[in-house]
Amino acid sequence: MSPVQTNNLIDGKQTAEDIKAEIAIEVASLRVAGEKVPHLAAILVGHDGGSETYVRNKVLACERVGFQSTLLRYEDDISEADLLAKVNELNNDPEIDGFIVQLPLPAHINPEKVIEAIRPEKDVDGFHPMNIGRMVAGLPALLPATPSGIVELLSRWGIKTSGKHCVVIGRSNIVGTPVSILLAKNLDTANCTVTLCHSRTQNLAEICRTADIVVAAIGRPEFVTADMVRPGAVVIDVGTTRVADANKKSGYTLKGDVNFAEVAPLASAITPVPGGVGPMTIAMLLLNTLRAAKGEIYPKSGS
């Protein structure tokens, strides 16, 4: 628990619980109607500690809402061709409604090639170029989980976005780039003016200080400091870096991209790490799986 006590926390854990409870109700009614319950599969390659934790939490979350889940584990010497063959098996398995390949992958495997091999209608991570392209075009799509989780969090916490200046720090394909696109969309839950900052941005602190909403997704622990945040701004911290900590049983502490102790007293609202954006990613992944199972975005063949 953070030693800093504030009353401006955006409790992503609670919001994620609410979303999971809503999903569980839908799953229960599918079950009662004798219909197939959604089935999510996850491919995990290797033994990266962070990835193991994420995937374990995803599988546990599936059980909690009544989904079926399958975890497929491979050693980190699996060849790219073998991994692509596994992806293809899942693509063609009618039991599986959606699946993810946990990133990062070992250096000898091209992640873009793997992502492109996933059938868009089963791409519940929303990483496939078809889903990204449809998102950019404003067409129905399976949206990437962390960006849509951020938008959902802002919406459910009543944070006004229309016309606000949002500064996104970090341009990754998983978070920074897609969240900057979503937040700029003409939607009730978005409609921001967005500035996307990255490692080559000049005057980063100055730009951040003009933000009504800061989204920190740069993967550098405690990068955002008090001098970068305007008093009253909303701060969304996407970072989850493991930093060695001999005082912890696990041997590490999870650090966000925001120096919470400095920034929380200034912000009008802030997400903690852990317990902010992280649980929302999982909730949105489950929501995408439910959508995929129902054929909401891409109608199921035969329906």
Question: Can 48 be counted among the known catalytic residues?
Answer: no
Question: Can 11 be counted among the known catalytic residues?
Answer: no
| Residue (264 or 282) nearer to ligand GUN, CB | 282
In the complex, least distance from residue 215 CB atom to ligand GUN, rounded to whole angstroms = 15
Q: Which two tokens mark 89?
A: 């098996």
Question: Can 93 be counted among the known catalytic residues?
Answer: no
Q: Which residue is nearest to ligand GUN (CB)?
A: 103
Q: Out of 58, 86, 164, 255, which one is annotated catalytic?
A: 58
41, 73 contact by CB (below 8 A)? no
The secondary structure element, H or E, covering residue 273 is: none
| Helical H segments across 138-276, by residue range | 145-156, 176-184, 204-208, 260-263
Q: Which two tokens mark 10?
A: 């955006």
Q: Out of 20, 68, 97, 102, which one is annotated catalytic?
A: 102
Known binder of ligand: residue 146? no
| Residue (161 or 281) nearer to ligand GUN, CB | 281
**Spatial distance between the Cα atoms of 213 and 164, rounded to a whole number of angstroms:** 7
Known binder of ligand: residue 180? no
Known binder of ligand: residue 209? no
In the complex, least distance from residue 79 CB atom to ligand GUN, rounded to whole angstroms = 20
CA-nearest of 17, 295, 284, 300 to 151 is: 284
User: Token pair 């933000």 is at which residue?
Assistant: 211
The DSSP secondary-structure symbol of 35 reads P
Known binder of ligand: residue 172? yes
| Residue (50 or 295) nearer to ligand GUN, CB | 50
Name the residues that contact ligand GUN, by CB under 6 A.
100-103, 125, 145-146, 174, 281
| Residue (105 or 229) nearer to ligand GUN, CB | 105
In the complex, least distance from residue 286 CB atom to ligand GUN, rounded to whole angstroms = 12
Q: Say how many CA atoms lie within 13 Å of 270 toward its Cβ.
A: 31
Angle value at C-alpha 224, between 221 and 226, nearest 5 degrees: 130
Q: Out of 97, 123, 125, 237, which one is annotated catalytic?
A: 125
Catalytic residues: 58, 102, 125
Known binding-site residues equal 170-172, 240
